[in-house]
Amino acid sequence: MASHGKKYDAAMKQIDRTAYVGVAQGVELVKSLSSAKFDETIELAVRLGVDPRKAEQIVRGTLSLPSGTGKTNRVVVFAAGDAAASARAAGADEVGSDDLVAKINGGFIDFDVAIATPDLMGQVGTLGRVLGPRGLMPNPKTGTVTMDVAKAVQDFKGGMVEYRTDKVGNIHLRVGKASFSAADLVKNVHAVIDELFRAKPASAKGRYLLSVTLSSTMGPGVKIDPVNAREVRDELVTA
């Protein structure tokens, strides 16, 4: 097995891999284990008790994290005419129609979010093999197929994130940076957990929140108690 490095190994010795902690304790621990020279991203991994092979049990949507993500998304917009002008004015990084489709077919994938007006989805659909596997295909359920492209650009530039279960029921989300205060990270984690319960499929039976893990870019995962992750609001002194 390949080594992760001395800092990672040292961090691993500071945690009990079998123990479950509360959200606030987990946040404090992950922050303390963040030792890289750059501002590490804090990531949340949640395993849901759903069967993504069934369309009605795919959990997906968007939410605005109360403390933001610490990153400004790169947004492209498939639009023409007035909608294209609105997208540019709102700060979209790339705007186009046929030309943008051709650019992406040519290898351009340097963006985090793709938004499209409904009338261009026929052309955007031809990019399925490129955008689909990367989770970048615009979809009405996530607010990325809309006529109000200006609002969508502003939302995704301002801290909105998109989530979707993978083929085994996992959801991975960026919930901030190591430089965030512990209080802000706790707010973001709770916002994600609350949103996932709001989006719980009616057909999902049994235990819904199977596991919750918090980690930094270069650090080990810390297990959050899935039973109390939603119900308990840890008291935390605002930094």
Q: Which CATH number does the domain housing residue 30 bear?
A: 3.30.190.20
Average pLDDT for residues 229-237, to the nearest whole number?
58
Share of the chain above pLDDT 90, in %: 73
237 — pLDDT class (breaks 50, 70, 90): very low
Is 237 among the domain residues? no
Residue 149 within a domain: yes
Question: Residue 108 belongs to what domain range?
Answer: 75-157
Pair (166, 49) in one structural domain:
yes
The reply to whether 33 and 146 lie within a common domain is no
The secondary structure element, H or E, covering residue 82 is helix 81-90
* Structure token pair of residue 46: 């949640």
CB-CB neighbours of 67 under 10 Å:
19
Q: Beta-carbon neighbour count of residue 18 at 10 Å?
A: 6
Q: Tell me whether residue 233 is in a domain.
A: no
Which of the listed residues 157, 188, 208 is the one where a domain comes to its end? 157
Q: Is the pLDDT of residue 232 over 90?
A: no
In a domain, 239, yes or no: no
Specify the pLDDT at position 187. 94
> Residue 91 pLDDT more than 90?
yes
Q: Write the pLDDT tens digit of every residue in 127-144.
A: 999 999 988 999 998 899
**CB contact at 8 A, 87 and 115:** yes
Residues 188-214 have pLDDT tens digits of 999 999 999 999 999 999 999 999 999
Does one domain contain both 198 and 82?
Answer: no
In a domain, 232, yes or no: no
Q: Global pTM? A: 0.75
Q: Quick one: pLDDT at residue 76? A: 98
Same domain, 99 and 204: no
Ramachandran quadrant class, 169 (left: phi over 0; alpha: psi -120 to 50; beta: rest): left
pLDDT score for 17: 63
Average pLDDT value for the chain: 89
User: Is residue 188 in a domain?
Assistant: yes
Confidence of residue 1 (pLDDT cuts 50, 70, 90): very low
79 and 54 assigned to the same domain: no
Q: Other C-beta atoms within 10 Å of 91: how many? A: 14
Where a domain ends, among 117, 141, 157? 157
Residues 31 and 145 in one domain: no
Q: Distances in Å between the alpha carbon of 31 and those of 37, 192, 217?
A: 13, 19, 11
One domain, residues 62 and 165: yes
Domain count, the chain: 2
Mean pLDDT of 69-94: 95
In a domain, 236, yes or no: no
Q: Which residues share a beta bridge with 170?
A: 47
Are 167 and 220 in a shared domain?
yes
Q: Residue 113 falls within a domain, yes or no?
A: yes
Per residue in 7-49, pLDDT (tens digit) is 544 544 555 566 889 999 999 999 998 878 899 999 999 999 9
CATH code for the domain of 132: 3.40.50.790
- Are 175 and 57 in a shared domain? yes
User: Could you tell me if 32 and 80 lie in one domain?
Assistant: no
Residues 137, 168, single domain; the answer is no
In angstroms, the CA 232 to CA 237 distance is 16
193: which residues sit within 8 A by CB, 6+ positions away? 46, 209, 212, 229, 230
Res. 239: pLDDT tops 50:
no
How many Å apart are CA 204 and CA 50, to the nearest integer? Answer: 6
Query: Do 80 and 150 reside in the same domain of the chain?
Result: yes
Q: What is the average per-residue pLDDT within 97-109?
A: 96
Q: Are strands 160-164 and 113-116 parallel, antiparallel or unpaired?
A: unpaired
Report the pLDDT value the prediction gives residue 6, as an integer from 0 to 100: 56
Which of 115, 140, 157 finishes a domain?
Answer: 157
